[in-house]
Structure 1
Amino acid sequence: MSDSGQSPAPGGRRRWTRDKEPEGGGERREAGEEPAGLMQKTPIILAKPPGERAQPKAGPGPAPPPPAPPILLMKARGGAGPGEESARGGGVAGGAGGEGPAQAPPREREGGPRPTQPVYQLHGRGLGPPGNMEAVAGQSRLAAPEKMKTSIKLVDEQMNWCDSALEFLLEQTDVLVVGAMGLQGTGKSTLLSLLAANQPDEDPRSFVFRPQGPELRERGGSQTGGIDFFITQERVVFLDTQPLLSPALLDHLINNDRKLPPEYGLPHTYIEMQSLQIAAFLFTVCHVVLLVQDWFTDLGLYRFLQTAEMVKPSTPSPGHEPSAGTEEPSEYYPHLVFVQTRAGPGSFRPRRLRQMQQLLQRLMAHSHLKYRGSLCPREVIPGLPEGPPESDVNLFLLPPMEVDEEPPPRPGSSPLFPLLPPFRGHGSFGTLLSRLRGRILAAARAQISHSLLTERNWFHYAARIWDGVKKSSALAEYGRLLG
């Protein structure tokens, strides 16, 4: 130990002794021990602030090149600058070096719209989409589909199903389906257009369901073929159908030498089977069915209704195989409303109205259709007194549309009250039409199937029902009996 010039210090430390000094003449001390009277040296900072880096160096010689722009790891849409990108990205270029929090972009400080980043960038960094994107996505989910301007085909003239109506339907259950059927020329398309979106004073060529034109009416032709579809912004579906037992369709079938399906031998049998398929389809998929007539009444039409109710397809069961011991599911039947268009003044008399109701009650006595209670004639004539049960038949009368015009005064006659409108015995066409629309929209919306259907589910359900109607064994047997 003496030859090394070191001696152990208390606590296991060693230090140099004075008898032998190291080379260099200085006194070797322990780390951390400073001689008295000497100040600690200031550390040298090798990095400069960003502001000083950009300034050129004073003195002779060429100026150094400007600093390179920061490297951007992500670039926002819309051509945002580097400053905006670093501010939105949380200081990717400058904030990572501990230079302080990134400043907001100028547009954000001035109150302008804040630029957004793509959703994939935010998700890649573990962040959720910004609030404005969530609002836009929510608005797109809640936005209504495009408003329909005119009707489209649900079933074409060849009795084939069409899928074009699916794009106008939503995934919501508050929907009302209204169908109309009747003989040729009774005003089905005009009535549905006025109930859906049009006004009586508009041009008939702009109606959503195009009615018969003057030339077509003179030739005795039919405007509607198959089933037309229209849905309003209030989510009410209207279905317009081709005329029942139409002579125009029969004439077109005979004169154009159209080939009949092999299961039908005669043209009139094929036309009647088409009408039965349409009526049975409406009785299965509609909440309200309007039977439109322009006079009272055709007994053959009511025999046709009884046949259509007989061949109506049964409501599909909720399961594929019904369990033993369970009750049979109840059949669905819609509300049936008898609408008489072009009704004369004599039809609005209380006695005449009561007679029409009693006759309809006897004709429909054995029917399961809901033809009573939902729309009674007291809505037509508010002063009509209460009567027997047969007075609750759903019968509604509409005068001709020309009735709203003031009749010209007769020559040589002076009215007793010139300022009062002439007495007609009923309300105007517009007043009665608004009452009919209100009663139809207020009809009870029972479940068409055993499960609650959305608009899109109703469309698929209706497609399955139409396929079942065309392949119905009961309709096929009835067609063979007709010959």
Structure 2
Amino acid sequence: MSESGHSQPGMYGPGRRRRRRRGERDIGPPGQNLSGPSRDREYQQRERRDGSEDPPGPLIQKTPIILAKPPGDRAKPPQNTSTTGAPVLEKPIMLMKARDEGGKPGTPQETAPQPSGPGPSKMEKEGQRPTQPVYQIQYRGMGPSASSSAVDPMVGQAKLLPPEKMKHSIKLVDDQMNWCDSAMEYLRDQTDMLVVGVIGLQGSGKSTIMSLLSANTPEEDQRSYVFRAQSQEIKERGGNQSTGIDFFITQERVIFLDTQPMLSPSILDHLINNDRKLPPEYNLPHTYVEMQSLQIAAFLFTVCHVVIVVQDWFTDLNLYRFLQSAEMLKPSTPSASHDSSGSSGSDDGTEYYPHIVFLQNKARREDFCPRNLKNMHMVVDKLMAHSHLKYKGTLSMLDCNIFPGLGHDFLTTEVNMFLLPMQEGDGEDHLTKAGTYPLFSLLPGYRGHPTYSYMVSKLRSQILAMPRSQLSHTILTEKNWFHYAARIWDGVKKSSALSEYSRLLC
């Protein structure tokens, strides 16, 4: 029935209810006079549009989802615009600071100011605010009491910098046989290192070989080598270039130790002609020179992984006697308990011995003959048969493709021996071609071996691949090795065995 009180035909039929006026109530439960659930939902929707009361009964309400920005953010005009008027995307703000110890883990601190826009959103009412992500960087290893004011960003960057590169060698032991501390600044706290030392007679080419193994190439000028070689003037007057022990470390963390010549006649001549005062425990100059050489050799046998013995001809029996004496006077490896009153470590099988490489420098063409090479290996093996030094099994010329066709069974007694020919330009293989045809004069002479550069590269690869056995009972870093070597050198100079040996030489 309409408001005028007349019913309209077709408006209310069977199963339909008239529209309820405002303020009227239904008698009976809702939906009693409806024919279906769809009409009941339609009736409830009409009632909600009219602003009437909700029908009694359970009704599930869904929480609205806000997809728009807060009013404060919408009110702000765009600040970053390009010259063409196009908006530019804002970069995320990254705040790098240390995590406070007093805060709860995982709870970011509010650092951005609150927006001052009308009508706070629902997230702001609940204490949350859609802010940009805050990245916190925590400095690990700086101690539990580290704070943002005590953290230096340069400390973390310094650990990523490459180690300082050396340009030339420095002194580890000076000409007065005193220890030097200048090498400490080039060392690091890491254990992957290789220590290579060299000994040999005067003029055998020790400094040149060590320079080629460390940082130089044969094509460079010898005046730019890291270990200074003998100049022409020094060669003419029979002098020596190196004094004491020189130190150089490469970027691959390989330590090279170059030494003064063993049993040097030029050092003896310098002592006699300059009237240098000898230490009180030495009476004769030649005894002092020999004891200096034994101290250096015994020191290298204790602190080096590899010791290269350089000879420029094959062979000097006095050099092998010298090696046996240095091995006998070598200080014992310190025990884990640092007990100096005990016996030597060789009794219990824990004594350390380095690898020995016999390098034949300035080798002739006939030395590369397989038959002569086999005889040289046999002689060295007989001379070193009773030595504890590791003189065989770690270096082989047969692995360098220098002698094609020779198998590993060719050398039954192979020792650590390597042959280097005379360097190009030093007078080798300059055959006179007088009387030959012009065509043959353009061909290079027969060498019988590869080039000098090729042989040096093969030697370097073999030396760097030598085993890096443990020098002491504890694993040493580079800095620990320096302190260990300083203690060994001090023990060598004060050794009672060396003092007794020098007394017997008089």
TM-score strictly above 0.5: yes
Q: Return the alpha-carbon distance in structure 1 between the equivalents of residues 486 and 241 of structure 2.
A: 24
1:413 corresponds to 2:439: no
1:386 Cα deviation after fit: 3.2
Rate the CA distance shift 1:314–1:98 in 2: closer, same or farther, 3 A: farther
Aligned to 1:391: 413
Secondary structure in 2 matching 1:465: helix
SS in 2 for 1:479: helix
Could you tell me which of 323, 328, 334 is aligned with 2:348?
Answer: 328
Cα shift at 1:411:
3.9
* Correspondence for 2:170: 152
- Note closer, same or farther for the CA distance 1:204–1:389 as it changes in structure 2 (3 Å cut): closer
Matches within 5 A, 1:12-161: 90=111, 137-161=155-179
1:371 aligns with 2:364: no
Deviates more, 1:448-457 or 1:381-390: 381-390
Say if 2:240 and 2:266, in contact at 8 Å, map to a contact too: yes
Aligned length: 377
* Partner AA of 2:325 in structure 1: T
Q: What is the one-letter code of the residue matched to 2:395?
A: L
1:356 correspondence with 2:376:
yes
Question: How far does the alpha carbon of each residue in 1:154-188 deviate from its partner, in whole angstroms, 9 at most, with x for none?
Answer: 00000000000000000000000000110000000
Of 291, 295, 314, 1:273 maps to 291
Choose from 308, 314, 328 the match for 1:310.
Answer: 328
- 1:160-171 alignment, distance < 5 Å: 160-171=178-189
What displacement does 1:423 show? Answer: 3.5
1:444 aligned partner: 467
The verdict on how the C-alpha distance between 1:403 and 1:374 changes in structure 2, with shifts beyond 3 A counting, is: farther
CA RMSD of aligned residues (A): 3.6
Q: 2:286 aligns to what SS in structure 1?
A: helix
How far did residue 383 of structure 1 move? Answer: 3.2
Query: 1:152: Cα distance to partner?
Result: 0.1
Taking structure 1 as the reference length, the TM-score comes to 0.71
Distance 1:307 1:147 in 2: 37
SS at match of 1:402: coil
Aligned residue in 1 for 2:260: 242
Give, in whole Å, the separation in 1 of the partners of 2:366 and 2:339: 55
Deviations, residues 228-256 of structure 1 (Å, cap 9, x unaligned): 00000000000000000000000001111
* Matching residue of 2:363: 343
1:329 CA displacement = 5.4
> Once the two structures are aligned, what percentage of the paired residues are identical?
61
CA–CA separation in structure 2 for the residues paired with 1:396 and 1:275: 24
1:96-155 deviations in Å (ceiling 9; x for gaps): 999999x99xxxxxxxxxxxxxxxxxx99965899xx75x54331132221000000000
One-letter amino acid of the counterpart of residue 408, structure 2 = E
Check the 8 A contact 2:362/2:420 in 1, yes or no: yes
Output the amino acid matched with 1:235.
R
Alignment of 1:456-467 (within 5 A): 456-467=479-490
Give the match's secondary structure for 2:377: helix
Task: Decide whether the 8 Å contact of 2:433 with 2:441 is kept in 1.
Answer: no
Match of 2:233 among 215, 237, 243: 215
Contact 2:431–2:445 at 8 Å: present in 1 too? no
Letter in 2 for 1:368: H
Aligned residues of 1:403 and 1:429 also touching (Cα < 8 A): no
TM-score (norm 2): 0.68
1:182–1:292 Cα contact (<8 Å) kept: yes
Give the distance between the partners of 1:127 and 1:275, measured in 2 at CA.
Answer: 56
- 1:180 equivalent to 2:198? Answer yes
Q: 1:308 to 1:322 in 2, by over 3 A?
A: closer
> Structure 1 residue 319: deviation in Å?
1.0
Per the TM alignment, residue 389 of structure 1 is displaced from its structure 2 partner at its CA by 6.6
The 3 A distance-change label for structure 1 pair 297 and 125 is: closer
> Residue 206 of structure 1 aligns with which residue?
224
Mean Cα deviation higher: 414-423 or 362-371: 414-423
Residue 428 of structure 1 corresponds to 451
Query: Which of 396, 401, 405 is the matching residue for 2:423?
Result: 401
Alignment correspondent of 2:135: none
Task: Report the CA distance between 1:322 and its aligned residue.
Answer: 9.8
Deviations along 1:430-471, one digit per CA (max 9) or x if unpaired, are 111111000100001000001111000000000010001001
Deviations 1:49-108 (A, max 9, x none): xxxxxxxxxxxxxxxxxxxxxxxxxxxxxxxxxxxxxxxx947xx87999999x99xxxx
Contact 1:403 1:428 in 2 (8 A): no
* Structure 2 residue 304 is matched with structure 1 residue 286: yes
| Residue aligning to 1:482 | 505
Distance in 1, matches of 2:332 and 2:341, equals: 18
Q: Equivalents in 2 of 1:287, 1:259: separation in Å? A: 35
Tell me the secondary structure at the aligned position of residue 401 of structure 1. coil
Q: Residue 395 of structure 1 aligns to which amino acid in structure 2?
A: M
What is the alpha-carbon distance in structure 1 between the residues aligned to residue 117 and residue 158 of structure 2? 41
Residues 387 and 464 (structure 1), Cα distance of their counterparts in 2 relative to 1, 3 Å cut: same
Q: CA deviation at 1:320?
A: 3.3
Query: For 1:449 and 1:285, how far apart are their aligned partners in 2?
Result: 9
User: Aligned partners of 1:323 and 1:306: how far apart in 2?
Assistant: 25
Unpaired runs of at least 5, structure 2: 1-109, 119-123, 133-143
Aligned counterparts of 1:127 and 1:168: Cα–Cα separation in 2: 31
- For 1:323 and 1:228, the matched residues in 2 are separated by 32
1:249 and 1:257 map into 2 onto residues whose CA distance is: 12
Q: Is the 8 A contact 2:334 2:340 kept in 1?
A: no
Instruction: Give the drift of 1:382.
Output: 4.1
Offset, 1:402: 1.5
- C-alpha contact 1:184 1:246 (8 A) present in aligned 2: yes
CA–CA distance in structure 1, aligned partners of residues 283 and 357 of structure 2: 34
State whether residues 234 and 240 of structure 2, in contact with CA within 8 Å, keep that contact through their aligned partners in structure 1: yes
Post-superposition Cα deviations, 1:323-360, rounded to whole Å, max 9, x if no partner, equal 99x98351111110000111110100011111111110
- For residue 425 of structure 1, report the CA deviation from its aligned partner: 1.7
Q: Deviations over 1:275-294 (max 9, x none)?
A: 00000000000001000010
Q: Distance in 2 between matches of 1:315 and 1:173?
A: 19
Amino acid at match of 1:353: L
